[in-house]
Amino acid sequence: MRSVPTLLSPLLANIALNGIEDLHRYHTNKGYNITPNTSDKDIRKACVRYADDMVFFLRPEDDAEKLLERINQFLAKRGLKISERKTKLTASTDGFDFLGFHLKVQSNGKSRCIPSEDNFKKFQKKVKEIINCLNYGANVKAKKLAPIVRGWRNYHKFCKMDGSRFSLWHLEHKTFQVFNKETKQDRQSAEKLVKQAFPSVSYSENRHIKVKGNKSPFDGDLVYWSERNSKSYDGTTSKQLQKQNHTCGYCGLKVTSRTGGD
């Protein structure tokens, strides 16, 4: 029997797994041990977690088996256990998938992030289903594709997205061929619809700004979150939010989420 994920699943995972990040931490100064008097700024938590998806980063001197045992003990107290199918030990130079990204450390020591293979295939399948659907024409297809493509591109805007694959050149070309075959469309109108279906998003590899460690969307700091979320927009919307000081011109409240600016 398999449990079915719900909207509460991430919340429940956060409650159950709260504190698991503390299982793997070390002093920023090599050779020093963490004591009750060690300052927080001198402690490095080598774990990234989102709900029940997490990555632990090990140094050469760390013992993976001992860490795995501590994790098992932590989960056992909560009636949980590790998924052996999803758990993997790998070198950062070989790369790993996390939250739809494929991340790896290159030979020059710099990190490289691209969409994961599974992520891209799911996105590609969803786009092709719309392109090849016979129930509606090019105009409707363009409207249905635009939010999907924009969302996918925004999610990966800090990845390396050049090249024909992730720039979606092949999908755009396929879409143009389908649109151009319609009797109501000509080459010019088909090209215009393709641009609408595949809205551009500016990319800046590895330029993501991390959320401050002590910040939460529920901490009441509307100024911080409105200014941060406004950066999710591009072009006219972004400029307008800056012009309005990230404030709604009608009600005077801060724009705190993406939907707030629509």
pLDDT at 259 over 50: no
Q: 153 and 167 in contact (C-beta within 8 Å)? A: no
Q: Give the pLDDT confidence of 12-55 residue by residue, as tens digits.
A: 888 899 999 899 988 888 888 888 888 888 888 889 888 889 99
Q: Give the pLDDT confidence of 85-143 residue by residue, as tens digits.
A: 888 899 999 999 999 999 999 989 889 999 999 999 999 999 999 999 999 999 999 99
Give the pLDDT band (50/70/90) at residue 234: low
pLDDT, the chain, mean: 86
Using alpha carbons, list the distances in angstroms from residue 220 to 76, 217, 226, 256. Answer: 35, 7, 11, 10
Mean pLDDT of 173-188: 94
pLDDT at 231 over 80: no
Q: What is the spatial distance between Cα 138 and Cα 158, in angstroms, rounded to a whole number?
A: 30
Q: Give the pLDDT confidence of 128-146 residue by residue, as tens digits.
A: 999 999 999 999 999 999 9
Q: 197 and 145 in contact (C-beta within 8 Å)? A: yes
pLDDT at 258 over 50: no
In DSSP notation, 55-103 reads EE---TTS-HHHHHHHHHHHHHTTT----TTT-----TTT-EEETTEEE
Position 120 scores a pLDDT of: 96
Token pair of 72, please? 């098992």
Q: Give the pLDDT confidence of 203-214 residue by residue, as tens digits.
A: 888 888 788 777
218 against 233, higher pLDDT: 218
pLDDT at 239 over 90: no
Pick the closest to residue 145 from 164, 120, 171 (CA basis): 171
Mean pLDDT of 167-192: 94
Range 42-49 contact pairs with CB under 8 angstroms and sequence separation of 24 or more: 45/21, 47/20, 47/21, 47/23, 48/98, 49/17, 49/20, 49/21
The model's pTM: 0.79
Position 219 scores a pLDDT of: 78
Percent of the chain with pLDDT over 90: 46
Mean pLDDT of 141-166: 91
